[in-house]
Amino acid sequence: MTKILVLYYSSYGHIETMANAVAEGAREVEGAKVTVKRVSELVPEEVAKKNGFKLDQTALVAEPKELADYDAVIFGTPTRFGAMAAQMKQFLDQTGGLWAAGKLIGKVGSVFTSSATQHGGQESTILNFHTTLLHHGMVIVGLPYSFEGQMTLEEITGGSPYGASTIAGGDGSRQPSALELDGARFQGRHVAGIARKLAG
């Protein structure tokens, strides 16, 4: 059994949708046991409600120590000025004990993201996230060009060799496209397949 965690933070539901697609793809790999969890919200509830945050997310909240229980962790975060959201950073900042004990060394790490605009920092967010994974000794897996959807010129779309992504639009009204969800599923399958090989 290969244990995969899809761990995300989502303010408005875009990353939540992508996380579920990543999990769908990972579950297609034989022997993969996939869990979807989220990190805690840091914004006060009254502020979150006023700003239209999606507060009905059903995924359980993860604890940092749980990361050691999985063969692979696929992280999802929206872009905040070209870097991960503070909620995800705060979660990762609590993993010092795992780092000191080398608990994540050799495990697979992967990242997907969203941004408001096509050039809103998707690639830099994932690359910045990779730094944390490298400090933990994780094996980084992206979204290879064997997912041919990222080569399209027929539509505006997220996705890069660094990881799957979606574009939310300035007002958040755009939802992940079919192609972006395909990329998320591909990344989930790809990560689960590599994790299975490494765990074996």
**What CATH number should be reported for the domain holding residue 150?**
3.40.50.360
Structure pTM? Answer: 0.97
Domain total for the chain? 1
Q: Tell me the HSE value of 98 on the side-chain side, using a 13 A CA sphere.
A: 24
Model pLDDT for residues 11-67, shown as the tens digit of each residue:
999 999 999 999 999 999 999 999 999 999 999 999 999 999 999 999 999 999 999
> Which range marks the domain in which residue 78 is found?
2-199
Q: Chain-wide mean pLDDT for the chain?
A: 97
Which stretches does DSSP call E strand in the chain?
2-8, 32-38, 60-61, 72-80, 83-84, 108-115, 139-140, 165-167
- Binding-site sequence positions for substrate: 99
Q: Is residue 5 within 8 Å of 71, Cβ to Cβ?
A: no
pLDDT at site 200: 79
Report DSSP letters for 102-154, one per residue. Answer: TTTTT-EEEEEEEESSTTSSHHHHHHHHHHHHHHTT-EE----TTSGGGG--S
Task: Specify binding-site residues for FMN.
Answer: 10-15, 79-81, 135
Q: Name the binding residues.
A: 10-15, 79-81, 99, 135
As annotated, the binding site for NAD(+) includes: 12
Please tell me the predicted confidence (pLDDT) of residue 7: 98
CA dist 92 → 84, 95, 132, 150 (Å) = 11, 5, 8, 29
For residues 3 and 35, give the distance between their C-alpha atoms in angstroms, rounded to a whole number: 8
Residue 188: how many CB atoms within 10 A of its CB?
A: 31
pLDDT digit string, tens, across residues 156-190:
999 999 999 999 998 999 999 999 999 999 999 99
Burial class (CB in 10 A: 0-12, 13-18, 19+), 83: middle
130: confidence class by pLDDT, cuts 50, 70, 90: very high
